[in-house]
Amino acid sequence: MRVLIVKTSSMGDVIHTFPAVEDARRNRPDVSLDWCVEEAFAGIVALHPAIATIHTVAIRRWRTSPLGRGTWREAAGLRRALRDCRYDLVVDAQGLLKSALVAKQAAAPIVGFDRSSAREPSATLFYDRRYAVPRDLHAIERTRRLFGLALGYEPDFSGLESGIMPPAGGSNFVGGKTAFLLHGTSREDKKWPVGDWIETARLLVGRGMTPVTTWSNDREKAIAEAIAQAVPQTVLVPKSPLAEIATIIGRSVLVIGADTGLTHLASAYGLPTVAVFLATEPGLTGPRGPFSSTLLAAPGGRVVPAEVVAEAERLMERQAHDLATGRH
C-alpha cells in the first residue's frame, strides 16, 4: 500500500507529524510512505528514514507570481509526479484548503479531519473519508490519531518517538559541550530580549558550556553578533543551509530556543531543550520530547535567564540519570 502524506508547512507542523509517521511505520509495515512538503522543509522531512519519496511544492514562492510561466510549469510537473506514483491513499494531515488542493492532484482517495476538526472546514469538501479528532489536543496527538484512524490501528500514547536522528557529517564550527541559542523567530512578540540572551550565554559559560548561535536574516544577525560581542566565548555560526544548522543542533548537548521550528527539531531529536514562550500558548503546539520543557511568561511578566538555565540543568541531569539507568 502506497500512501502520500500532505503536510506542506510550517517547520514545526512538519516536525509534529513525525511521531505519527513512526506509529505508522511500526503498526503498518506493509505501507510505503511518501510526503509532499514545501521545498524549504524537504531536508527536514528527509530526516525520517521511513519516508521513501519527497515531493516538493512551492506555494509560498508561487504566490509571488501566480500567473507566471514557471509557476504553471512547476505545478504541472508536481501534478504529473504525484499521479505517476499511483497512490492508494492520500492523508491530508494539514486540514487547510491549500493542502486539500495539493492532495487532490494525486488523483487518489483522500482522508483527513472532519468539518469540526479541520483548521479550514472547506478543505473537507475534497476528502473521501473524514475523521473526528478533538481540536483541544496537542497537534502531535491529533495527527497520531488521524493516522491511526486512516490506517486502522490504535496509537500507543504511553510513548512518544519521533523516529529521527541528526544528519551525519557536519560542521567544523562547533565541538565540545555546546549549547545552541535559537533566538530567531517570526514574530516580534515571540522574541526574548537580547539582554536576556546575553545573560543566558554568560551563565552557560560560567557552567563550562560554549554558547552557539546563528542567524537567517539581517535582524537576527544583529542579535547574534550582539551576543557574541558581549560573551566572546560564543561560537557565531554564519548563515547556513537548514541541513547544516540541523546537524549542528544535533551535536549540541543543550538547546535553548524561542517559539521557532528549530526548537521543535531539537526537542524531536531528544535533546535537553528549553523553550521560552512569551506570546503564544504552548499547550496545543509547544515542543514535545523526552527532555523538553517550556517556560511560559505570565501575563505582564517575563522569563528570566537564571530560571531558563536552572531548567536546562534539571533537564540535562535527568537525561544523564536516564542514560545511566538505561531508561532512555
Q: What is the pLDDT of residue 189?
A: 87
What are 92-113's pLDDT values in tens digits? 999 999 999 999 999 999 999 9
Q: What is the DSSP letter of 190?
A: G
CB 230 within 8 A of CB 198: yes
Which is it for the CA torsion 9, 55, 142, 252, positive or negative? negative
Task: Give the separation between CA 79 and CA 82, rounded to whole angstroms.
Answer: 5
pLDDT digits (tens, 9 = 90+) for 31-62: 999 999 999 999 999 999 999 999 999 998 99
Burial class (CB in 10 A: 0-12, 13-18, 19+), 80: exposed
- Cα–Cα dist 82/4, whole Å: 9
The confidence score (pLDDT) of residue 44 equals: 96
pLDDT in tens, 5-20: 999 999 999 999 999 9
**Does pLDDT of 170 surpass 60?**
no
Report the alpha-carbon distance of residue 282 to residue 102 in Å, rounded: 29
Q: In this structure, are strands 178-182 and 210-213 parallel, antiparallel, or unpaired?
A: parallel
Closest CA to 44 of 164, 127, 196: 164
- The pLDDT of residue 173: 58
**CB 257 within 8 Å of CB 277:** no
Instruction: Say how many C-beta atoms besides its own lie within 10 A of residue 56's C-beta.
Output: 17
Nearest to 219 by CA among 197, 188, 189: 188
Residue 282: the pLDDT is: 86
Q: Which of 114-118, 154-158, 164-168 has the lowest mean pLDDT?
A: 164-168
pTM here?
A: 0.94
**Look-up: residue for cell 511544492?**
57
Whether 168 has a pLDDT exceeding 80, the answer reads no
Contacts of 12 (CB under 8 A, 6+ apart): 260, 261, 264, 285
Q: Which residue has the cell 506509529?
A: 23
Nearest-5° Cα angle at 327, 142 to 265: 45
Cell numbers representing residue 170 in the block: 557536519
Instruction: Determine contact, residues 289/268, Cβ cutoff 8 Å.
Output: yes
- pLDDT per residue as tens digits for the range 247-260: 999 999 999 999 99
3-state secondary structure of 206: helix
8 Å CB contact between 224 and 180 = no
